[in-house]
Structure 1
């Protein structure tokens, strides 16, 4: 491996700063954590990891043409994801006064839905590859790296946001547990529903 720990460390720092910038992933995590707790949110963070590995790889290999080749599929995926978030959001608002345990529709179909939501949020924005195309050359000489270097870059790209997303979801979950009264549950569910609807709109417009 030709990359140094210092280079990877600076790159990890840049990714952390990027993570601190609010966006659709934050909104989706907040909505899932508010509606179903950490158990509902962590699969979404896991789904995001797939995109966090894919976009840097495509940027490194310089095969942006792949994005255009699968553009139709990406468009379908984006609108399916947008519809999924809109439906979940409306269901939460409609059943705002009910707890998660009393209305399974609010979390159906569970962890798999969370994973797919994370996948849609991160893959629904092909513009991410443009970000990596602009950032990676500033940290690494992409003409001199090998497969071990690529694996290291992908690992950092996956681990840093994943840990950050898990911590963020856990923090939202703790806040949710404090709000245990009926009125608080209604407010939390309405907030979560609105956030899900907002994520759906953002995905559709990206």
Structure 2
């Protein structure tokens, strides 16, 4: 398989997969969004969030591929502005979790989706999408990440980037599925202990607010 991908300009596909998995396992807002969505609203909502995260990653990879990362890096004010937009959105999500009522927290882990199932799926997809999209550092990361696994003599332009994007998206799907299943299973246990469930919801809000602050200061 490595030989096939090398013909597309990718030097070592297994190293690419390993590096992607390590990157995905680093704690981040996207990971937490998937876990909280699956724990609060069930598997279908969790998978909707995974789809949103994957779409956000695809957009970031596309922007990195066409050189937007270089633009952000060369213009600190633009980069900082995008950071603040992302921080505000993450803080907004965090405050929403902090203000949730106790009876809403006690319902985490229930597999039954409310009557507005389609609306919920769209909302969870949008949350995963924007949490991922509003992290400008990811664009810089992909801009630095891609060249590590590209053979300049075999590079095929957009086809190479498209193939790498599909590999990364596949890893995200597998990892996101695992997070969804784990988050939903954990929530079913937490549902039996209302105080623990309420604490977990508040912790989720604090995490998102802290991550937003970190985004603008690091």
Pairwise TM-score range, normalised by the shorter structure? 0.7 to 0.9
Structure 1 residue 73, shift from structure 2 partner: 6.7
Larger mean CA deviation between 166-175 and 184-193 belongs to: 184-193
Which one of 126, 146, 150 corresponds to residue 116 of structure 1? 126
Distance of aligned partners of 1:10 and 1:95 in 2 relative to their CA distance in 1, 3 Å threshold:
same
**Cα deviation 1:142-164 (Å, max 9, x = unaligned):** 68332221211111121211220
Q: TM-score, normalised by structure 2?
A: 0.75
Structure 1 residue 33, shift from structure 2 partner: 2.2
Larger mean CA deviation between 139-148 and 109-118 belongs to: 139-148
Q: Give the Cα–Cα distance (whole angstroms) in 2 for the partners of residues 91 and 110 of structure 1.
A: 16
CA-based RMSD of the aligned residues comes to 3.2
Q: Give the Cα–Cα distance (whole angstroms) in 1 for the partners of residues 149 and 161 of structure 2.
A: 13
Which one of 183, 189, 203 corresponds to residue 198 of structure 2? 189
Structure 1 counterpart SS, 2:100: helix
Which one of 77, 97, 106 corresponds to residue 88 of structure 1? 97
Distance of aligned partners of 1:38 and 1:189 in 2 relative to their CA distance in 1, 3 Å threshold:
farther
1:156 equivalent in structure 2: 167
Distance of aligned partners of 1:108 and 1:157 in 2 relative to their CA distance in 1, 3 Å threshold:
same
Larger mean CA deviation between 194-203 and 18-27 belongs to: 194-203
2:33 equivalent in structure 1: 28
Contact 2:191–2:197 (CA<8 Å) still a contact in 1? no
Gaps of 5+ in 1: none
**Cα deviation 1:157-203 (Å, max 9, x = unaligned):** 2121122011111112112223442xx14412330332133213413
Structure 1 residue 59, shift from structure 2 partner: 2.5
Contact 1:35–1:189 (CA<8 Å) still a contact in 2? no
Structure 1 residue 72, shift from structure 2 partner: 5.3
Contact 1:121–1:203 (CA<8 Å) still a contact in 2? no
How many pairs are equivalent? 200
Contact 1:47–1:115 (CA<8 Å) still a contact in 2? yes
Which one of 99, 112, 115 corresponds to residue 107 of structure 2? 99
Contact 1:90–1:197 (CA<8 Å) still a contact in 2? no
Which one of 183, 188, 200 corresponds to residue 209 of structure 2? 200
Q: TM-score, normalised by structure 1?
A: 0.79
Which one of 150, 171, 186 corresponds to residue 182 of structure 2? 171
Contact 1:12–1:160 (CA<8 Å) still a contact in 2? yes
Distance of aligned partners of 1:189 and 1:159 in 2 relative to their CA distance in 1, 3 Å threshold:
farther
Larger mean CA deviation between 56-65 and 30-39 belongs to: 56-65
Contact 1:124–1:203 (CA<8 Å) still a contact in 2? no
Structure 2 counterpart SS, 1:95: helix
Distance of aligned partners of 1:42 and 1:61 in 2 relative to their CA distance in 1, 3 Å threshold:
same
